[in-house]
Amino acid sequence: MVSNLGILNIEVLRGYVQMCSDGWQQGWHERNGGNLTYRMKPNEVEKCHMFFQTERPWMPMGVQAANLAGEYFITTGSGKFLRNVELKPQENIGIVQINEAGDSWRIVWGLENGGQPTSEFPSHFLNHSVRKEATDGACRVIYHAHTPAIIALTYLLPLDARVFTRALWQSATECPVVFPGGVGVVPWMVPGGPAIARATSELMKEYDAAVWAHHGLFCSGADFDLTFGLMYTIEKAAEIYLKVLSSGQPILQTITDDDLRAIAHDFGVTLREEFLD
Ligand code: 13P
Ligand code: ZN
């Protein structure tokens, strides 16, 4: 019999576990806060297949997406601490397969001893569906973190995508290059169900990142590096903005809209025009 831990040597699992540790080290994952899902490539599924067991039951999600039928996702477990993923991956993360109707999952590896996918799996799932569509299949990662500076800003700024985006773009020169489309903002909602999933996925049709008021941030991307980098860049910009606000000093100058246009021109990115004056 093959040990089911052999799967952990496969590159995609190593990258996934590394990202959980990186997020923990940033201070974004107190206790069980935050979650990560990854839509596997067919060749990754093939490499992992010998470790799969398919006798566990299908579980309905309360949301549905035809374009994710039959896909496999790596997911963190509900109530699991991202800090512990590296220590015991087989209990804290798992792989789920989606059924042909695109409305249920079953665990095929991991989440040992009664674990379940993250309570935010419906949000991740609908976000995967819209980002897959919006990026022609390139988007594979959805990441939710409890990023403190972004959360703090949701008490100070109006919960408006234009206001948030401008504050973040002006907080560090590279920001408009990293997220030229800006960030969406979801008002405060009860976490962990189909309602917040639908509200977030509506925004993710247009944005690759969305702020959850008084809760955290959702980011999407083609791979672990790009998605982690997006989370990091947005959170760092929020931190800078907060430091400036907290200084109590008047703001003497900032990056102007003409500056933003100049960056966009030289770096070959298109900024969301309605967010510029
Ligand atoms: P889970 O432990 O179910 O992943 O929930 C954590 C969280 O951040 C909820 O928004
Ligand atoms: Zn959360």
Is the pLDDT at 34 greater than 70, yes or no?
yes
Note whether residue 131 is domain-resident. no
Tokens of 25: 């080290």
* Ligand 1 midpoint to CA 144 (Å): 9
Specify the DSSP class assigned to residue 188: P
- Which residue, judged by its Cα, is nearest atom 10 of ligand 1? 191
Q: How far is CA 229 from CA 142, 143, 148, 223, 248, in A?
A: 13, 11, 16, 10, 30
Please identify which of the residues 120, 174, 202, 274 carries the catalytic annotation: 120
Q: Answer for the pair 79, 32: CB distance below 8 angstroms, yes or no.
A: yes
Residue 11: which domain range?
A: 1-119
Q: Is the CB–ligand 1 distance for residue 32 below 6 Å?
A: yes
Same domain, 91 and 160: no
Note whether residue 226 is domain-resident. yes
120 is catalytic: yes
pTM of the entire structure? 0.97
HSE-up of 125 (CA within 13 Å, CB side)?
Answer: 31
Q: Is the CB–ligand 1 distance for residue 186 below 6 Å?
A: no
Query: Residue type for 63, please?
Result: V
Of ligand 1's listed atoms, the one at least distance from the Cα of 33 is 8
Same domain, 78 and 113: yes
Question: For residues 215 and 125, what is the distance between their CA atoms, to the nearest angstrom?
Answer: 19
Note whether residue 130 is domain-resident. no
Same domain, 19 and 99: yes
Q: Is the CB–ligand 1 distance for residue 35 below 6 Å?
A: yes
pLDDT at 1: 44
Number of domains in the chain: 2
- Of the residues 84, 119, 154, the one at which a domain ends: 119
Closest alpha carbon to 95 in 34, 33, 48: 48
Note whether residue 102 is domain-resident. yes
* Ligand 1 midpoint to CA 34 (Å): 5
Same domain, 166 and 271: yes
Q: Is the CB–ligand 1 distance for residue 148 below 6 Å?
A: no
Q: What is the pLDDT of residues 66-125, one digit of tens each?
A: 999 999 999 999 999 999 999 999 999 999 999 999 999 999 999 999 999 999 999 999
Of ligand 1's listed atoms, the one at least distance from the Cα of 146 is 8
Q: Which residues lie across from 72 on neighbouring strands?
A: 97
Same domain, 274 and 150: yes
- Specify the CATH number for the domain of residue 85: 3.40.225.10
* Ligand 1 midpoint to CA 253 (Å): 39
Question: Rg of the chain's alpha carbons, rounded to an integer?
Answer: 19
Question: For residues 198 and 184, what is the distance between their CA atoms, to the nearest angstrom?
Answer: 14
pLDDT at 172: 97
Q: What does the mean pLDDT of the chain come to?
A: 97
Q: What is the pLDDT of residues 205-259, one digit of tens each?
A: 999 999 999 999 999 999 999 999 999 999 999 999 999 999 999 999 999 999 9
Is the pLDDT at 277 greater than 60, yes or no?
yes
* Ligand 1 midpoint to CA 82 (Å): 10
Cβ-Cβ contacts under 8 Å for 219 (sequence gap 6 or more): 142, 143, 145, 208, 209, 227, 230, 231, 234
Note whether residue 54 is domain-resident. yes
Same domain, 8 and 109: yes
Cβ-Cβ contacts under 8 Å for 39 (sequence gap 6 or more): 68, 71, 72, 73, 128, 132, 139, 140, 141
Same domain, 7 and 115: yes
